[in-house]
Amino acid sequence: MKRKKKDFLFDTLVTLIASFLGIIIIFPLIYCFLSSFKTPSEFLNPKLLPSSFLYLDNFKNALERGNLLRYTLNSFIIAFIGTVVRMVLSILAAYAFTFYDFKGKNFFFFLILGTMMIPGDVLLVTNYLTVSKLHLLNTYLGVMIVSFVSASQMFMLRQRFKTIPKDMREASSMDGYGDLWFILKVLLPLSKPVVTTLFVQSFINLWNAYLWPLIVTASSPEMRTVMVGITRLNSWEDENYQLVMAGVCISLIPSIILFIIMRRNMKKGGLDGSLVG
Amino acid sequence: MASITLKNVTKVYTSSQSVGGGLFRKNKEKKKDVVAVKDFSMEIKDKEFVVLLGPSGCGKSTTLRMIAGLEEIDRGELYIDDVLMNDTESKDRDVAMVFQNYALYPHMSVFDNMAFAIRKRIPDKKEVDRKVREAAGILGISEYLDRKPRELSGGQRQRVAIGRAIVRNPKVMLMDEPLSNLDAKLRNQMRSELLKLRKRIDATFVYVTHDQTEAMTLGDRVVVMKDGEVMQIGKPDEIYSNPASLFVATFIGNPQMNVIPVSAYRKSEGFYINLFGKELALGVEYSSTLSKRNESFIPLMLGIRPEYITLDDGGGLFEGEVMISEHTGNSIIVHMNVDGTEIVALEEERNRREINYTQDSILHFSFSLSDVYLFDAVSGLNITYGVGNGQ
């Protein structure tokens, strides 16, 4: 009995600490959500709750004045295409590094991994110059191109692919399936959790990117992404934080929808039953 | 409709071993050629069941994979139905393979696992369906078609793996130790099912195993391999009764053949050996081979199978002290110490007489010299192989 009591106390303590941490993490979001319903005068009031949840002017203004609809579309195009291309390239590279034997395989693999050690900010200027020389400033491609290749994603996928027995590829090649078929019909379905997680993670990263889209689309306001657009809602002569909060709420919607859709696929999927045992 | 011809097929791996070095120091690479299969030559007839047998690392799986097209052939030629296959892709060879670890697709149902193998070749869905159901019927897995591999037992997964191969109706069926992961009872059962299956499928079988019982029971012919080389090719009973070398003789047979180093010497009437202090005259069949040798004492290895040793309480030619006796149910395996050499005898339970098999008791035993094999002590070759009947 004593033991049970001890366990109960421990469980309660863990739950309390976890809840506390959870509240700290989610509080800015809650605050942002609640503030987006406040009137300008209410916003300066330290009260947490808005007087009415029916006050939607902030959303209306953000969408109309701030052109957020267009920016959301820009962000979506950039994040979605960027992620798809990145996934395709990562999958193909990881496949080659897992299933092919070629000279210098380890050298190239570590060379690619080495790029993970270079901080992105260091490349900002050179990337900008490259993109500008390619005449890609103020274009979708210009914003996306630097995110097409991801060493870390390639690495994660390779780790997953390595757990898939080579016999499976041999079996499918004997049945007349080429590499592409094997990837589509066997490898990807078996790697669904990793692939979806990486997809969501990559989409959210690109969606949330700020600095790069800002400098690449600096001279063309209609090409801005939603993250850049939101900051423009607020200017020094007109402090409209409740408008920014509404913009942030709008910008969160696609990421949340994507997460909800993909969540089911992220759960553990395994090789159970493929092999002996 | 499929004969397989292998002519001096050779596979060499270049293994590079890193010596020393580390992450920041350059590794010294030692390149070493390892011959996995050396000059494998054989003609496999249409619908024949050939078993490649040998210890692990002997090159049997590599040979199979070369026939499958999963491994490149470095030297030599491979023909299937007299068509050179060296550079033909495995999918165009019309061969199917059952992998040792089954390699089923875990995300597909049993039906899809089997159908996947033929969808590329047969576009007609109904035909695919019919073929899969037919193959499933042969293997008795019709009721599991909707299940995923993880919901099946080891034996059922094994059947699915075989089903995936037979559904293609291939010319050649390759099997890489398909039963090695099953428990003993299931293995025996699947072994006899494979025998039945074989009669229903029009294919040439090449089967790899390290299990001699499988090799002896399944094979029309057995190829015994060691270190990438073929030691002997023959029918199972030939391999057992007329082994070409000491390796084959000791590899086949359970318990293993007793091997005793002896020296043959010439006396006026012929050749003799001295065994455990007894002088024994060798039969005339050995004389012709031995007389070619110049040494006065020819070093040999004498082999006698445990099942050819007769035990008794007294009266036998030799005497040994029982070290251990193992009762396996239908037989007793007796390990004896004879002048410091371990001799193993196998007595069938139904022939068992009132003999004391307990530890430390003294047993007499004898065997007929006609049941003895003599091998060259240096080359290990059976000195009468190919000359007489080897006995």
List CB contacts (< 8 A) between A167 and chain B: 99-101, 103
Q: What is the pLDDT, as a whole number, of residue B1?
A: 65
**CA dihedral of residues A219, A225, A227, A233 (deg, nearest 10):** 60
User: Is the Cβ pair A174, B116 closer than 8 Å?
Assistant: no
Domains plus CATH for chain B? Answer: 4-242 (3.40.50.300), 258-376 (2.40.50.140)
Residue of A nearest to B121 (CA): A176
Query: What is the DSSP code (8-state) at residue B27?
Result: P
Q: Give the nearest partner residue to B181 out of A168, A172, A276, using CB atoms.
A: A276
User: Is the Cβ pair A276, B105 closer than 8 Å?
Assistant: no
Q: What is the pLDDT, as a whole number, of residue B28?
A: 57
Alpha helices in B205-351 (DSSP H): 212-218, 236-241, 246-251, 284-290
Residue A62: closest CA among A255, A213, A252: A252
User: Is the Cβ pair A177, B70 closer than 8 Å?
Assistant: no
More confident residue, B81 or A263: B81
User: Is the Cβ pair B103, A176 closer than 8 Å?
Assistant: no
Q: Give the nearest partner residue to B103 out of A171, A185, A272, using CB atoms.
A: A171
d(CA B190, CA B139): 10
Domains plus CATH for chain A? Answer: 58-266 (1.10.3720.10)
Answer whether B171's CB lies under 8 Å from B4's CB: no
pLDDT in tens, B149-208: 999 988 899 899 999 999 988 999 999 999 888 888 888 888 888 888 888 888 999 999
Q: What is the pLDDT, as a whole number, of residue A129?
A: 95
Q: What is the pLDDT, as a whole number, of residue A95?
A: 96
Whether B2 has a pLDDT exceeding 90, the answer reads no
d(CA B77, CA B86): 6
pLDDT in tens, A39-97: 888 888 778 888 888 888 888 888 888 888 899 999 999 999 999 999 999 999 999 99
Least confident stretch, A30-34, B215-219, B387-391: B387-391
Q: Give the nearest partner residue to B105 out of A176, A270, A274, using CB atoms.
A: A274
Determine the distance in angstroms separating the CA of A192 from the nearest CA of chain B, rounded to an integer.
10
pLDDT in tens, A92-131: 999 999 999 888 899 999 999 999 898 888 899 999 999 9
Number of Cβ pairs < 8 A linking chain A and chain B: 82
Q: Which amino acid is at B380?
A: G
Average pLDDT, integer, range B103-128: 91
Determine the distance in angstroms separating the CA of B89 from the nearest CA of chain A, rounded to an integer.
8
List CB contacts (< 8 A) between A189 and chain B: 107
Q: Give the nearest partner residue to A190 out of B96, B107, B117, using CB atoms.
A: B107
A63, B312, B345, B346, B372 from B351: Cα distances, Å: 98, 11, 13, 11, 22
Interface test with B, best of A181, A191, A272, A274 (most B CBs within 10 A): A274
Determine the distance in angstroms separating the CA of A91 from the nearest CA of chain B, rounded to an integer.
19
User: Is the Cβ pair B105, A270 closer than 8 Å?
Assistant: no
Cβ atoms within 10 Å, residue B299: 13
User: Is the Cβ pair A174, B70 closer than 8 Å?
Assistant: yes
Arithmetic mean of pLDDT over chain B: 87
Residue of B nearest to A192 (CA): B107
Contacts of A79 (CB under 8 A, 6+ apart): A203, A204, A206, A207, A254
Average pLDDT, integer, range B52-76: 92
pTM of the model: 0.80
More confident residue, B382 or B354: B382
List CB contacts (< 8 A) between A174 and chain B: 68-70, 90-91, 95-97
Q: What is the ipTM of this complex?
A: 0.78
Determine the distance in angstroms separating the CA of B115 from the nearest CA of chain A, rounded to an integer.
10
d(CA B284, CA B110): 62
Q: A163 — contact with chain B (CB < 8 Å)?
A: no
Determine the distance in angstroms separating the CA of B90 from the nearest CA of chain A, rounded to an integer.
5
**CA dihedral of residues B129, B132, B137, B139 (deg, nearest 10):** -170
Q: Give the nearest partner residue to B91 out of A173, A271, A273, using CB atoms.
A: A173
List CB contacts (< 8 A) between B69 and chain A: 174
Q: Give the nearest partner residue to A171 out of B99, B106, B149, using CB atoms.
A: B99
List CB contacts (< 8 A) between B121 and chain A: 176
Residue of B nearest to A178 (CA): B91
List CB contacts (< 8 A) between A270 and chain B: 106
pLDDT in tens, A234-259: 766 677 788 888 989 988 988 889 88
